[in-house]
Amino acid sequence: MKRKNPQTKTGGRSGEPRRTGINLGRSVLELRKERGLSGVELCRRSNGLDPRTLTAVEKGRIRNPSIATLEMIAKGLGVAVSGIFRRAEVSLPECFSQGTPKGLYRIAFPSKGVEFIAFSPSIDELFCGKVLVDPGKSFDGSILNGTGAVFLQTLSGRFEGKVDGRGVTLKEGDNLFFSGGMDVSFGNPLQRQGALLLVSAPSCFSGRRFTAARNPCDL
């Protein structure tokens, strides 16, 4: 029996998503603002979306946009249609999200040689994911946003760094817990890419905006 994708349920003759109690318009609005896009720019990137349709979706006048409309919105945002549904679902009182090793979305800092792969949904309360650091590259507290509590564990490779001036070395399996407000830096001294597990509460990306190019979603 063929399984249906729960993120893109369709029903009826219109091919529109079934009513699920989620607010797709708010999800679209939040994703657009996070990327710093105006409604006009999103429509331009979508190659054909009418700005009036986008406004109607965001304001809730169109509660069940067609799949074609959602595909154009998703293209303008630089995400998959499932990413819009996933964002809407995490705002529900009860949220359930199952992922894969590929992650739910990615945030890359090419100039620093650092990439974050998120395992948790895009919510303010928590970030759980993997940090990939290229050979000879490093990152500091500015990327971690300097708030809350942070847990790191080396998944592969070795990392050397400082926490408020104290030297630390994290070999595979080693872990570290610290306040996000501390002065920290971590580097990869090896000639191969290293990986860290990162958990931060609240999310180290809470309230931050990224352009579509800098926040490529891999959904």
Model pLDDT for residues 69-96, shown as the tens digit of each residue? 999 999 999 988 888 887 777 666 566 6
Domain ranges, residue 45:
15-90
77 and 150 in a common domain: no
The answer, yes or no, to whether residue 188 has pLDDT greater than 60, is yes
Q: Where are the alpha helices (DSSP H) in the chain?
A: 24-34, 39-46, 51-58, 67-77, 81-90, 141-144
Provide the pLDDT for residue 76.
93
Q: Tokens in use for 10?
A: 């369709």
- What is the count of structural domains for the chain? 2
6 belongs to a structural domain: no
Top-confidence residue, 168 or 123: 168
CA 34 centroid distance within chain: 10
The answer on 120 and 75 residing in a single domain is: no
Residue 138 clears pLDDT 80, i.e. is over it? yes
Sorting pLDDT into bands at 50, 70 and 90, what band is 146?
Answer: low
